[in-house]
Homo-oligomer: A and B are copies of this chain.
Amino acid sequence: MTTSIPQRNSEFSAPTVLVDRSRVENNVQAMFQRARRAGVHFRPHFKTHQSPEVGAWMRAMGVRAITVSSVAMAEGFVAAGWSDLTLALPAYPAMLGRVAALLDRARIGLLVDHPEAAQALVAHPALRAASEAAGRPLSVWIKLDAGYGRAGVRWDDAARFAAVVEALDAPWIRREGILAHSGHTYGARSAAEIASIHACCLERLVPLRARWSPQFADGKLRISVGDTPTCSVLEDFGPVDEIRPGNFVFYDLSQVQIGACAPEEISACVLCPVIGKDEARHRLILHGGAVHLSKDRLEQDDASVSFGQLAARPYDGSWQLPDPQRSLVSLSQEHGIAQLTEQTMQDYRIGDFVQVFPVHSCLACDLHAVYRTTDGEELSRVR
């Protein structure tokens, strides 16, 4: 009698994020070259990988400026040696003391989108003292809502924009420009649709430059945009100064659905052990639940919902692609259920580890304290 663990699996004993470094580097290379061709500054968002080691790969490729989305992430990447960050979350008073403590080692650009927040920022004594001690003004961006409808000053709310600009009036504050995130590209299903969202965004942002540039540093209002779909499919970003894509490092099934990447470009998955088989209903039970993959859902064109896709055979050390015919149809805290067929059920045994491709790699990776590369390297995460 033998157990059903293939040899290569012996290094894994629990669900584990698996990262293919060469695919990551190809994704970074492609995006960095795209930014260079378009003449825009490249400030990738690190919220997807959150890993100092992945950051180090990107630094080796020439990346010098990054985006983060929490003060904890800023602390982690400053500790890892990064010195030029934008903290792309509207600043709130209780985080400012922690930001101030980083300014001796890094420039941290902050966001505001409300006069109340701008006033609190300007009135924060520790932030001011730290900026002055660092000998450089604090960069502040005004977060703009160019149509996504989540956060930011609405592009047509001139009164609020003026109030924020006015509140940001201090010699130690440097008004950088406006920052937008077109998250509604995630609803797009073609490059043309993405291009039209970007065009609409520019139509709303560019007039602000003409009107407000004199109030910004060096007489120029900069424009920073940043979603992965837009940055993955456009070659010309128009009068944009900076792009901040994040998800592209790993990509995922959502991005495939949008048309922002090919399945071959996905560079992270979760290796999950098969823990059960329901031969009668052709279902595989995986130790791979909401705590490993997140509950993000892919609403498919046939109206069914998927929580992930499996590779077509157990992991044997060579990377495989997601198979849309092998979908996770249900997730609970620790369990995932894959609906297969009588035939594809034969491809797996209990104990096999299978690559499960998450719907949304940012949320799935956030659930894991460490990742492993296909080369066996362990990757840590900032907390």
Contacts and interface: CB of A to CB of B under 8 A. Distances in A.
A199 interface: no
A335 B154 contact: no
Contacts of A2: 123
Contacts of A367: 366-367
A89 interface: yes
Interface in A318-345: 330, 332-335, 337
A279 to B, nearest CB: 9
A233 interface: no
A276 interface: yes
Given A116-B4, A183-B332, A366-B291, A350 B69 contact: no
A349 B257 CA distance: 39
Contact of A333 (B69, B280, B333): B69
B294 A114 contact: no
A117 B350 contact: yes
A59 interface: no
A13 interface: yes
A287 interface: yes
Contacts of A356: none
A296 interface: yes
A13 B94 contact: yes
A93 B351 contact: yes
A5 to B, nearest CB: 5
Contact of A275 (B12, B151, B350): B151
A13 B363 contact: no
A174 interface: no
Given A117-B276, A123-B1, A290 B296 contact: yes
How many copies of this chain does the complex contain?
2
Contacts of A350: 92-93, 114, 116-117, 120
A307 to B, nearest CB: 10
A128 to B, nearest CB: 13
A213 interface: no
B150 A335 contact: yes
Contacts of A363: 290-291, 295, 333
A383 B368 CA distance: 10
Contact of A113 (B92, B98, B276, B295): B276
B290 A92 contact: no
A334 B3 contact: no
Contact of A120 (B3, B14, B116, B123): B3
Interface string A76-117: 000000000000011111110110000000000000011011
A369 interface: yes
B280 A154 contact: yes
Given A92-B274, A98-B13, A363-B291, A150 B332 contact: yes
Contacts of A64: none
28 contacts: A1-B119, A1-B123, A2-B123, A3-B93, A3-B123, A3-B124, A4-B93, A4-B120, A9-B94, A10-B94, A12-B94, A13-B71, A14-B71, A90-B275, A90-B276, A92-B287, A94-B353, A113-B276, A114-B277, A114-B350, A117-B275, A150-B285, A150-B335, A151-B275, A154-B280, A290-B296, A294-B294, A333-B363
Given A1-B119, A369-B383, 7 more contacts: A4-B93, A13-B94, A14-B71, A94-B353, A116-B277, A151-B276, A367-B367
Interface of A: 1-5, 9-10, 12-14, 47, 69-72, 89-95, 97-98, 113-114, 116-117, 119-120, 122-124, 150-152, 154, 157, 183, 273-278, 280, 285, 287, 290-291, 294-297, 330, 332-335, 337, 349-351, 353, 362-363, 366-367, 369, 383
